[in-house]
Structure 1
Amino acid sequence: MLAQLGAKLAAVCSVAGKPFDIRSGIFAAMTATGMALGGCMPTTVPLAGADPADPGARVAGVGYRSTVAPYNSLRPVAPSSWREQNDRVAPKPKSGR
């Protein structure tokens, strides 16, 4: 039974297989061409605001902020006692009862 089915399938494929192979080849070529040309198409995205290429478009004003505004001069000074510096930053002693 399987041998008979295989023989029928082979006979049908020998007659109808050639046009099908040509059609599938053409379909594959058209699909590949479409995908290749689809990659060349520019993507169009709707703009959310004004067109950036428009020279008359309104934009926010530009403000100036100095990058060195909090600068403090750190010129060399005379050395001071390390004990006085430690006493200034040390925690205050607790008052005893």
Structure 2
Amino acid sequence: MTTLFEARPAAVQSARSRHVGFHWPVLATIAIALSGCMPATTAPLAQADPADPAAPVKRVGYRSTIAPYSSLRPATPAPWRERNDSVTPQKQDR
């Protein structure tokens, strides 16, 4: 039984020494840690400070959402009987 406890760590150590590779989790952790040290923006990409009252801003324009609307309601409605008679099918005499 003790030989099993001694053989297993020896096999693991042997496999580790054969596989000396790149450790992606370690690299990712280092990259994330170093990205916190980077500035938020660089000078060419930075824009005017929004808290600065002297900062230039674009002019605000107003466009009405109902500007092209015009009422299509007639001033006085036509008599309904005449209007109904004008659109009903005519009787055909045989």
TM-score by length of 2: 0.33
- Greater helix proportion: 1
